[in-house]
Structure formats: C-alpha cells, structure tokens
Amino acid sequence: MPKLWNETIEDHRRTVREAILDSTWTLVHEHGLASVTMSQVAARAGIGRATLYKYFPDIEAIVFACHEREITRHLAHLAELRDQPDDADARLRAVLAAFARISHQQRSRGAELSALLHRDERVSQAQQQLVDLIHGLLAEVAQAGHLRDDVPLAELANYCLHALTAAGSLPSTAAVDRLVTVTLAGVRPQE
C-alpha cells in the first residue's frame, strides 16, 4: 500500500530536520559555536535559508536539539548494555565504561559549547535517568554479594557518575579503562 500523503510529509520533515542537526553539529565541532551562521548550516544541509528558518529560529535552538538527540541516543545505548544477558557485574562494568567513554569523547568540546549545553535543562533530567539506571544495576550487583553494604546505593551511583567524569580530562582510552577499574574498586565489599 502506498504511503499516505501525510506520512510522506512527515518523513520528509524528519529527514530535513536530521540533516540540519547533522550539519550544525559538524560545523560547531569544526569551527566553534560562535562562528557558525544559519547561512552556513543551510548551505551544508542543502536547503534554503528560508526553509531552515521554518525549522529553527537560531543556531542555539539547533544546538539544543542536537544535544537532546545525543542524550537520547546515549541513554538508549546505556540501557541496551544494561539489558544484555551477562551477569550483573559484567553489565555494571560495561555501562560504567560506556559512560566514561562518552565523557572522554566530550572533552574535545570547546568551553563555549560546554557552557551553553550546561545550561540545557535536559541535562539534569538525563543525569537523573543515568543515576536511576546505575542505581538499578548496583542493586543487582548487591544481590550477588559483590557490593559494599555500608553505603546507600543512591550514594554509590552518584559517586560512580562523578568519578567517571574524570574521563573528560584523560589523554587516552587506556587511562579511561583504568579509571573505570579504580571507580569500581570503590564500590566493592571491603574487608
């Protein structure tokens, strides 16, 4: 059955929107937030300036939309790792390592972009979803008896996330792996 006219329009809009986000994100990472203009974005996305303004009012709005898309993807990726058929220990390590790698990749963001994204309200919401995700995994690891029992799980989850943001100032992925090991050592049962 052929697509309905409405669905085709929807598809088209979604494709254009994705092209705008991709173009902007690339330009911002290549040239820095301050130097990117709506004209450059339109040119790179292969659409007219007038069309671009039908989608977004300014660069900042596009950057926030990029960020929203990125956060959604990251959370989906981490949830996927949590839901693997491995044991809880292996899944905890996989999730923490993936989060550390995300922090590590974001180190290349300029101060300007970081400051803007820091203001995004979506961040604290995503932070909470992350804490919940890790909290749940820690509960599973605790059931297996591989977690210290003198500290509330919520505090351990909070500790993990903050410790792993240290990946943002590390020079190599080997160092990031060591950071995950050190962080995990903090939550293990103590003699």
Site of interaction with a copy of itself (CB under 8 A): 115, 118-119, 148, 150-152, 155-156, 158-159, 161-166, 169-170, 175, 178-179, 181-183, 185-188, 190
Q: Which is nearer to a copy of itself, 79 or 182 (CB)?
A: 182
Nearest distance from residue 83's CB to a copy of itself, in Å? 26
Q: Which is nearer to a copy of itself, 143 or 190 (CB)?
A: 190
Nearest distance from residue 53's CB to a copy of itself, in Å? 29
Residues 6+ positions from 157 with CB-CB distance below 8 Å: 131, 132, 134, 135, 138
Burial class (CB in 10 A: 0-12, 13-18, 19+), 142: middle
Nearest distance from residue 130's CB to a copy of itself, in Å? 13
Residue type, 79: A
Which whole-number Å values give the CA distances from 141 to 48, 95, 135, 136, 144, in the listed order?
A: 53, 13, 10, 9, 5
Q: Which is nearer to a copy of itself, 95 or 187 (CB)?
A: 187
